[in-house]
Amino acid sequence: MSNKKSIAVLPGTYDPITLGHMDIIERGAELYDELVVAVSENPAKRPLIPIDERLELIGLLTRDKPNIRAEMFTGMTVDFAKRIGAKVILRGIRTFADFEYEFQLALANRRLGGVETVFIMSSAERSFIRSTLIKEAVALGGDMSLFVPPPVQEALRRNLEKRGRISVRSFVGLDGEETPSMGKDGSGLRGEGIE
């Protein structure tokens, strides 16, 4: 039996981090000695919350769990996982559409870097929460306290106000493309496939 520490990576943009994310993070941390919440930096996506603030929020929300840490990365998730000694990429699955996309991505990641992917099913009460929906609702003045922790809701409002984007015209609306296909902006190889 090996004394080597088991490390898993849970990649995403976390813009913003939601209660759905927190559910997966907390459950994932129970399975591994160390869980690295890997926050992807992709300036092309023009995130609402700056990456340093997203890292701080994750640190604040997980401060009572010593085996969880947040770290920024660029490039492919498999490269980041290998660099930190992780053998597993952990992914949350909400729907069958998520599974179809994530299954293709898991095969690619295994082929590219020899890193396995482990899926955790979202809790039923959190399975509909999507970052895009949260940002749109906050921009329209909605109360998102049932979907994001209080510090995250405050960060969303503050960053939207900085951009002058709290209005009905802030977002055109959801386009139905909640799960991107391979090759689009925010490719899942960067850890951004499912928000």
Interhelix angle 150-163/131-139, rounded to 10 degrees, is 60
Q: Which of 40, 122, 130, 131 is catalytic?
A: 131
Helix (H, G, I), strand (E, B) or coil at 51: helix
Q: Which of 54, 94, 135, 190 is catalytic?
A: 94
Which helix (H) or strand (E) segment holds residue 160: the answer is: helix 150-163
Helix (H, G, I), strand (E, B) or coil at 190: helix
One-letter amino acid at 180 equals P
Q: Which of 27, 45, 87, 126 is catalytic?
A: 45
Phi, psi angles (nearest 5°) of residue 176: 85, -10
Does the active-site annotation cover 127? no
Cα separation, 133 vs 126, in Å, equals: 13
Does the active-site annotation cover 69? no
Non-local (6+) Cβ contacts of 44 within 8 A are 185, 186
Strand partners, 155: none
Does the active-site annotation cover 82? no
Catalytic residues: 21, 45, 94, 131
